[in-house]
Structure 1
């Protein structure tokens, strides 16, 4: 029934629905998401339409912002459909569409939360930023579809190597981040070394299946102990600089930044020492 309904009514129904949307939503703010007590719902009666048919049409033509209600008063399946659409939209907001990993928005939110947890409990938090080496040459040599395959396989490997409660995200083109809660610098570096070794073992076929190739990655690592007040930008900047060091010193390696807290404490201690020296010596 769904297939028959779509075949017979899709073009006509789509034309009418989109014309309503164009008339009411594109020239003014009548379709804004702001709640308005004086708002009005515009409805279209669709005899013979089933929820299954609507789900197909809505997915095909981007009509998930339309809400359906049944004529037989059994609204439960339709409310379930609305809930499913909202869950999908929520997932897409926080996840990278290619790899399925958390995106930068979700990563930065998680990093802020984990830094707060680290400050509260004085537990270590390690952040690693990884970048696939020479990725541009993969796209240029074998094409973007093969580049996407490399990204997806690398992302899958990262997910399997991380712990269940670690945050793994794609934060740029070929740049990824791993957030390791409760892990200090030494153990985090060991994990990254294993990831680098596993990366080299990934094998990809060229588009003509005549050759194979592999890739490597570099990583910058920083650890936060929750001792001093800091912010997410400081931690990301430290990891980025460590990654740059790894890239500039030969790639396929892990470079670490100074522990953020120790550096700040060392500077504070040095200031106090200089103050004491001035008070007692005048120099």
Structure 2
């Protein structure tokens, strides 16, 4: 597929009838640089289902505030502008994952939890940001599945038949991967630069410029979640870890064991979150 045509179709996503209304509404909210925290709180609070899912997610092990946040206003104030905007898209995308690719939701939840654990081990202050990045790292897969279901079905079959990563099969079919598609949307919706970096380069962390540490973290979290067989990311393979990213993270054996225990503890988390 011609890259220019692909990008045009992706960037017109709010205008396409196949995209759920909630994504269209969220795109307006997230892409508005002038929106205030109180307006975001009002938007979430006006939707009981969205309110419930935001609070369940924030109070889950993925974010590390178990039972501490009881209101949307509290969640928005505590997490801040960038995290809450990413989380809004995150809980909605998780919903879509269940209907587009069975197992992708679980993979994303596992990756988010693993990323948060690694970030905590590295002493990062923005562990919530890293959790959101883990949730959204495969955003491009969801969009490709929504807009090109037949084509993406061919991608999945190609990956299985040839024993290749779905990332490579995407490039073979679309000329670009889900990482680039995610980048296009992240830029269009004015995601924070660190989140855009992770979405764009979680398969090639050495290219990250704005958030090299966060990108390396999600890169490893993604691979460890695959290695644990938790969820499904489009193929049954475990990609090689970037040596430079692994060296950059400099994790001990106990650190790795802690991450693996975290991923294992996420089993059943989707039920706990009400999905």
TM-score of the two chains, using structure 2 as the length reference: 0.29
More strand by share: 1
Larger helix share, 1 or 2: 2
Q: Please give the TM-score of this superposition, normalised by the length of structure 1.
A: 0.28
Higher radius of gyration, 1 or 2 = 1
